[in-house]
Structures are given as C-alpha cells and as structure tokens.
Structure 1
Amino acid sequence: MMFQYHKYHALGNDYIVLNPGEISFELTPERIRLICDRHFGVGSDGILLGPLPRDGAGPDLRIYNPDGGEAEKSGNGIRIFSRYLIDKKLVAADRFELKTLGGPVRVEKLKPDGSLLRVSMGTVTFRSSEIPVSGPDREVVGEEMEFGKKRMKATCVSIGNPHCVIPVRAVSPELACELGPDVEGAPQFPNRINLQILQVLDRRNIKIEIWERGAGYTLASGTSSCAAACAAHRLGLTDEEVTVHMPGGEITVKIGGDWSVLMTGSVSSVCEGALSGEFLNALSKLP
C-alpha cells in the first residue's frame, strides 16, 4: 500500500493533495475521515484527488470534505491544486483550465511560483431550482427563513456549490458556529448548504465568518468569498469589486455584469511526504 501526500493551505484553509499515481488504494469515506482527522491522521479541511485522467467528460480533480462527502467546487481547493500542478511542473502555461464537478474554471498565475492566483469561477445564480432551495422556482434574495428558532433574512447563491448568506450587524466565530449546523441541515436545503454570515464594512470591503457543509467552522473559503460578495452586491450593499476579510486572510472578488466572478488569492506550501506503515495498515483495515 503506497501513499504520498502534499499539503498546502490557502489563508488557513488546508488541503491534502493526492495524486492517483502515488496512492494504491481507493479513497473511501472512512479513509478520507481518518486521513483528515487532526488527532489520528494528517489533519486537513479536505482532500484534493488529481490530476485525474482526461477522458473528455470527467473532472480534472475530485474534492472531498473531511466528513467523507464530496464537494462540487472549492475556490481555495482550486488554487491549492493549481499551485500543486505548478510546483510539480505538470502545467507550464501561465493560464490554464480545470474541470470540477461544479463546472470548468480558468486559472491565471500572477506570481511565477504560483503563490498568487486569479481564478475565473464561472457565473453565480440566485435561482432556487439551481442552488437548490425547496419551494417554487424563484430568486432567493433577502428572503426570511427560519433556522432552529431564529428567523433571519437570507440570500442564497450557487457558484457550482450552494451557499446561504445572512447579513448581520457584526460577525463572530461564535455566531457562525451557533447558526452553522441549523443552516447547513435546514429542510429547505435538500443538498445541505454552506453558510456565510456577512458584515458590510463599506462599499468595497466585507467581512465574513464561514460554516462549511461537511467541514464545519472554517478560517477561509474561496467559493464562500465569491458567494458573499455576490449576495452583498445583489442586495445593493457593495460595488462590483470587493475585498473579503476572513480570519485566515483576504480574497479579492470582482463581479461582472453577467454575474461572472474573478477571485484572486494566495496559496502556501506546507509539507509533503509519505505516511508510516503503521498508519497505512490502519487505513487498509477500513472499508
């Protein structure tokens, strides 16, 4: 059983990159959970599996949450995977395209070492049928919803994965953790959902705290930044270009007239190596 890994973080949101050519076993939900466990495994906010064989239809990478579930798209994950491709000289161009389950993205290298990247994330939608949100087909913008015992106004967005943005007077980790489980699993969201609580600082700056579907409280998120920026702009609270402030750092989001989104942010390398035989044996015993 072979296992090589490569670990990166994007503003404190850390992922393990696994190249299919460097592992000799299937990634099951049970194995994903053990690898991502911060006490019993390597520890991470998820796993990026790729590059996958290009067969014309499938994605270039698969994105797994630490609970073993799969994510359609991750802005930080895309930047991390792109940095890995650059580090390993698997791409040579300054601009290239990747396929995700949430749609294709275009990546532009802004620094030669790939530590700063701009990603064209596709277009956002507020339509309930495309997010999805239960009920009649509509744009879910400033809609009053009940989460647990709280009634709050929410704007829901998809950028290839689903998001619920709730403006508040002041954000805090405690509030994100209080609301997160109720919002993620609310009955109106059949596929569960990511939560961003949003504080508008001025027309060009917003602050968010994040609860990610399948991961919990998170220091930073690329798709969450895009979703929150688009929700704030749709509500008329911000301009088309904003800096998104998160506990892990900042991402710049630029929104086009057609609701296309450009995201710019950094990536840092952490470590790479091989796991011990003892840990590999523990993985082999899992289904």
Structure 2
Amino acid sequence: MPLSFHKMHANGDDFVIVDSRNSPNPITSNLARRMGDRNRGIGFNQLAVMLDCDDADARLVFWNADGSPLDACGSATRGAADMLMRESNMTSVALRTNRGLLTCERTSTGAISVNMGKPLFNWVDIPLALEMDTSVLPLAGEPTACSMGNPHCTYFVDDLTAVEIETIGPAIETNPLFPLRTNVHFVRIIDRARIRLRIWERGGGIPLGSGSCSCGAAVNGIRRGLLDRCVEVECDGGAVTVQWDGVGPVFLTGPVETIYSGTIMDTLLKV
C-alpha cells in the first residue's frame, strides 16, 4: 500500500514528515535510508514520523538520511507543529519526543517557536567516551560539547572559508571520543548577538541549516561567555533565533514551509 508523506524545509534544511496517527509506525531503518536517497528516493536531511500520543498532540520519531535514529530535530519538530496548528486552527501544540514534551507556538510573524528542552553538559549525557570538562575538549582547536538530545561539538573560528568541512567534519564525527558520533559546528562570531554557522551533520553531511545544531552552537557560545542570551544564527540557508538564559530550556524560532505532498509507491516499500 502506498505511503503518504509531506516534504518540508526550514531555511533549506529539508525534511519529510510521515503522518502515521491512527496507524502503526511504518518506518524502519532500512526504509528511512531508502527514502533519504536523493537519487532513488525522496531525499531529506531528516525524517519525522508523527504518531498518536496520550499526553500530547502527537509523538515524533526521527531518522537521519543514513537510516540512523536520533532523538531531536528542531526543523522537523517545527514542521510537524506547523502542520498540526494549521489542521486544528490553533497557535500552540505540544509534541512528545525522546527529549521530552516540547511546546510549540506560532509567533506573530508566522514563524514557529519550539521549547527544545534544557541542554546537557555532563560527559556521560552527551555522551563522551571519557570523563572530562565538556567546555573545553582535549582536541585540536579546543571545541566545546553539549547535548540537545543529540551530541554537538562546536569550534569557534576566525575564518570559515579556511575550514575544510568535508575533511574535518567526518573526522570529528567519528572520533573515538564520541561513541555515538557527533554533529560538528564551525562558528564565526559576528558580534555577541549574531553568529555565522556551518555544519557537518551526523549521518547527513553538510546541510543548509539545522535547528538542533543552531541550538547547540549558540548554547556552547553562551556557555563560554562569547554570546548574549539571544542569538541570531545565520546558516547557509538562512537564519533562526536561539534563546537560552543559561539555566533553563532553549527556545528555537524560525520559519518552515511545505514544499509538496506525495506518496511512496510499493516498489520502494518492498525493496
């Protein structure tokens, strides 16, 4: 039986949402990988499956394009929230993820704001392979690590054009220090309220943007005392706003847009 999907993006950070409310979850690791193939499937940075939930408007389960699972995706969370708000004609919804219960609101400009939960800094929560101070990792360049439900490693650099992301990114992603691999950020600080961010995404390569990576990069900059509590994060595909008071949850705000809806035929589902 064909499987329906919705293709969306957030400043070019593209994702697919499969609405499986009132039905079993149809997505496996193998199917997520085939769907994520940009030549033979749909193509996406992340896939979100929307399921029934007793204590929220829906539950979200996320996959990377390589078929690996992940616990957080800021862009796809905003996309699912946008869909549910339009469906119910509401301006707020709550979504259950492995990060917990995330509240989402539509702003006066039409953007979607998500409470992404509190960042985690303990080495075992990120996780790292060894106990250490996560504010300055024992790697060349002295990056900072945190978790937003998935691992983040942030480098602060003076010149982004001098960074060979295609080489450095995968080497850091698979460094033994990160047993579950890691997202890798390269940040140029414009001023205390603005950064320019480029990303090597765990299981995905170089995206135009990433909600959770934008959160992780801003949080690591605030933690180091380099940034104020409200930061505009400019990625390759556009900008989002990240707010963190240094104690509580992180708030991510930015636009989302539906590109098209369609169905996956049985030929792909049965491979």
TM-score class, shorter-chain normalisation, is over 0.9
Does 1:14 pair with 2:4?
no
Partner of 1:148: none
Structure 2 counterparts to residues 1-287 of structure 1, below 5 A: 1-20=1-20, 26-50=26-50, 52-55=51-54, 60-87=59-86, 89=87, 91-111=88-108, 115-136=110-131, 138-145=132-139, 151-172=140-161, 175-275=164-264, 279-284=265-270, 286=271
Stretch moving more, 96-105 or 183-192: 96-105
Aligned length: 270
Letter in 1 for 2:121: F
> What TM-score do the two structures reach when normalised by structure 1?
0.87
User: Structure 2: how far apart are the matches of 1:97 and 1:172?
Assistant: 39
User: Structure 1: how far apart are the matches of 2:138 and 2:211?
Assistant: 26
Letter in 2 for 1:184: E
Post-superposition offset of 1:19 = 1.3
SS of 1:230's equivalent in the other structure is helix
User: Structure 2: how far apart are the matches of 1:92 and 1:124?
Assistant: 31
Unaligned runs of 5+ in 2: none
SS of 1:106's equivalent in the other structure is strand
Unaligned runs of 5+ in 1: 146-150
Task: Give aligned-pair identity as a percent.
Answer: 30
User: Structure 1: how far apart are the matches of 2:268 and 2:255?
Assistant: 34
User: Structure 2: how far apart are the matches of 1:116 and 1:185?
Assistant: 34
Q: CA RMSD in A?
A: 2.1
User: Structure 1: how far apart are the matches of 2:85 and 2:155?
Assistant: 36
User: Structure 2: how far apart are the matches of 1:240 and 1:105?
Assistant: 20
Q: 1:140 to 1:102 in 2, by over 3 A?
A: same
User: Structure 2: how far apart are the matches of 1:273 and 1:24?
Assistant: 19
Letter in 1 for 2:115: S
Q: Is the 8 A contact 1:194 1:212 kept in 2?
A: yes
> What TM-score do the two structures reach when normalised by structure 2?
0.92
